[in-house]
Amino acid sequence: MLQRQWKSILALLAISPILIVNALAASVNGDTKSCKATVYLTFDTGSQSQAMLVANTLRQHHIKASFFLANEKTIRGDYSLDPSWAPYWKDLVAEGHTFGTHTFDHVYVIRDLPHGRILVKPQFGAQAGKELAWTPQQYCTELHRVDERFLQLTGHTLDPLWRAPGGKLTPQLLKVGEACGYRHVGWAPAGFSGDELSSEKFSNPDLLKRALDHLRDGDIFMAHLGIWSRQQAWMPENLEPLISGLEKKGFCFATLREHPAYRIKTEPKH
């Protein structure tokens, strides 16, 4: 395969230096048909302590990922969907990443209630820490709040995707998301980064090895843009080695827009 690629590149010598550069970039970045498998990197908001590291690492590898957004308190003392974060989100939009809702106030579901209601507990916002009995419409509004704020910040809407905080679902909640027009996105067992687990019990090297050993074609990988509770952050030690290690094994990366279960069709603009 490599021999054929280099023959093609050498053949471009008589055509255009620009084409040579493009061909080399495609070969280095894995933008060829030689991928043995595809992994879908996804990132949920959090303390945002690793937000720049994630963005810069993705740029260095010329790969795209999917982000699920909630309005969470950050290490700056602000919130992840405040106007102060608009430049960050705008840059990621311009780079072609995918975005979904993670509920505005990072609302955890507790259980289903009679008559279609759902018991929930927001982590942030005016009702933080309270157990609330929401109607389907109230939860739907909560999902849409992220979309509305994202439009204000970036001029773009979210993709029709969502992820429940903690990945926890109930039968009624799943129906609510679908009725609101959002498809829920979980992650593969091997795609759980473990970045919110105790670093004393789950070391970064162990978590990295588990991911590299067990991720398979089509798996969705999940990590956070910063976690308050983990003493030794997962990202600085593991993100670059994870991506490089998977690339060496022949993996490529794509956004959820290209995932068979979530593929989003874009209509031609007139």
pLDDT tens-digit map of 116-142 = 999 999 999 999 999 999 999 999 999
pLDDT of residue 57: 98
pLDDT of residue 167: 94
- Residues of the chain with pLDDT > 90, as a percent, come to 83
User: What is the rounded average pLDDT of the residues 161-186?
Assistant: 97
pLDDT of residue 15: 36
Whether 67 is covered by a domain: the verdict is yes
Whether 239 is covered by a domain: the verdict is yes
pLDDT of residue 14: 41
pLDDT of residue 22: 38
Residue 265's pLDDT band (boundaries 50, 70, 90)? low
Is the per-residue pLDDT at 215 higher than 50? yes
Q: Which domain holds residue 50?
A: 28-103+158-170+182-258
Is the per-residue pLDDT at 59 higher than 80? yes
Look up the CATH number of the domain holding residue 163: 3.20.20.370
pLDDT tens-digit map of 2-49 = 444 444 444 443 433 433 333 344 444 444 457 899 999 999 999 999
Is the per-residue pLDDT at 113 higher than 60? yes
User: What is the rounded average pLDDT of the residues 150-177?
Assistant: 97
pLDDT of residue 263: 81
pLDDT of residue 12: 40
3-state SS track over the chain? CHHHHHHHHHHHHHCCHHHHHHHHHHHHCCCCCCCCEEEEEEEECCCCCCHHHHHHHHHHHCCCCEEEECCCECCCCCECCCHHHHHHHHHHHHCCCEEEECCCCCEEEEEECHHHCEEEEECCCCCCCCCEEECHHHHHHHHHHHHHHHHHHHCCCCCCEECCHHHCCCHHHHHHHHHCCCEECCCCHHHECCCCCCCCCCCHHHHHHHHHHHCCCCCEEEEECCCCCCCCCCHHHHHHHHHHHHHHCCEEECCHHHCCCCCCCCCCCC
Whether 150 is covered by a domain: the verdict is no
Whether 79 is covered by a domain: the verdict is yes
Whether 35 is covered by a domain: the verdict is yes
pLDDT of residue 27: 43
Domain count, the chain: 1
Whether 12 is covered by a domain: the verdict is no
